[in-house]
Amino acid sequence: MHATRLLRSLFSFAPLVFFLSCSSPTYRDVYPTLTDGAYDSEFPYKGCSEQLEQISETIHMVTSIAYYKSFPFSAEMRIRLEKIDDMLLAAREGSSSFFNSTSAGSATVIGYENRRVTLLTCAHVVAFQDTIVSYHRDGDGRPTPFVRSISFKTRQVNYVAVLPEGGELQILAIDRAADVAILGREFGVEPKSRIRVFSYPLGAARDLEWGSFVYLFGFPSGHKIVTKGIVSSPRKGPSGSFLVDAVFARGFSGGIALAIRDGVPNFEIVGMVRAVSAHSSYALIPRPEHEVPDYDPTVPYAGEIFVEKRTEIEFGIVQAIPIEVITTFLDHQQASLKRAGYIISQFIGKESSPSD
């Protein structure tokens, strides 16, 4: 009898063991603190490729080209800046020349309505000087007050190649100090393909902590990329900027940073990538490399010595503009943009519930 009861007890207990062993844990079991209202510092607990792909469709590469007309002046002319006027420039017309300067970065579509598209990017991606002045140097290499050349910007073109009708864009608003700019244009006809607008809430960079996990979207070296990073130095400086340990290359400026609040797909935009840390140094070189096809380092060099400026990028240290700075700029510009027909209220109205 005792043996029979024991067998019955074991068989009745077995289904319960089987059920418990086959049940899968929820994310609350794996990450019990995931619903704490703070930004996550863990790698996402589940896949989010679909959401990341949708976000990537709102990110575009923006290219800007500025065209200049330059007027040269010899050292013997001893021309000071205040002496340059229209008459002098007209006299130098025959010696004038043209050149251009280019820049590339990333931009995010933050509005589309009534055939008008609006994009967010960094100001330095599209901000070129209207006038460029260079000066002659003396025998010791020090600048003199005499102008070597003066160049005037004659035209600037900003464009996103994948947008319809050539993709040329205007600068609708810009703040060089904050390093934020708004680009836009009105299409002649309704585009055949959909223009996807960024649709996730605004976050709060002030809520970021050491080790907060972020996704970064942009166009480094002309390639659309999503990468990940960890936040360092949150609330850095009076603007509340922060650092991210991510790979940075030319073209990433203007890319966005997304944090995750209580698990994917709860993405929030917390900032915009602006620059990478770097330092410059000077080195003595025998000659510019293109002028020395074969140089034997074992043979003493007897030619001229040149100075070369070298910029060394500190990879893995990326600076970001906090979303608070961006929204302050957008709030100030919203009324003038609306009068011009550009609507961004949907973007700046997507606010999360950050902690105080």
- Provide, rounded to the nearest whole percent, the portion of the chain with pLDDT above 90: 62
Mean pLDDT of the chain: 84
Distances (CA, A) of 172 to 39, 118, 274: 33, 9, 19
Report pLDDT digits (tens) over 233-275. 999 888 889 999 887 778 899 999 999 999 889 999 999 998 6
Residue 212 backbone phi and psi in degrees, to 5: -60, 140
pLDDT for the residue numbered 250: 82
pLDDT at 293: 54
Residue type, 223: H
Instruction: List C-alpha distances in Å: 29 to 25, 26, 47, 184.
Output: 6, 5, 17, 46
pLDDT of residue 349: 79
User: In 305-332, which positions are buried (b, 16+ CB within 10 angstroms) versus exposed (e)?
Assistant: eeeeeeeeeeeebbbbbbbbbbbebbee
Across 12-21, 138-147, 280-289, 293-302, least confident range? 12-21
Give 10-55 pLDDT, tens digit per residue: 444 454 444 444 444 444 555 555 577 899 988 888 889 999 999 9
Q: Residue ranges of the domains in the chain?
A: 30-291+302-348
CATH number for 30-291+302-348: choose from 2.60.40.420, 3.40.640.10, 3.60.15.10, 2.40.10.120: 2.40.10.120
Looking only at the bridges linking them, the beta strands covering 116-121 and 131-137 are unpaired
Give 21 or 2, the one with higher predicted confidence: 2
Q: Residue 177: pLDDT band by 50, 70, 90 thresholds?
A: very high
Decide if pLDDT at 170 tops 90: yes
pLDDT digits (tens, 9 = 90+) for 308-332: 655 454 556 889 999 999 999 999 9
Instruction: State the pLDDT at residue 335.
Output: 92
Which has the closest alpha carbon to 240: 207, 205, 266, 214? 205
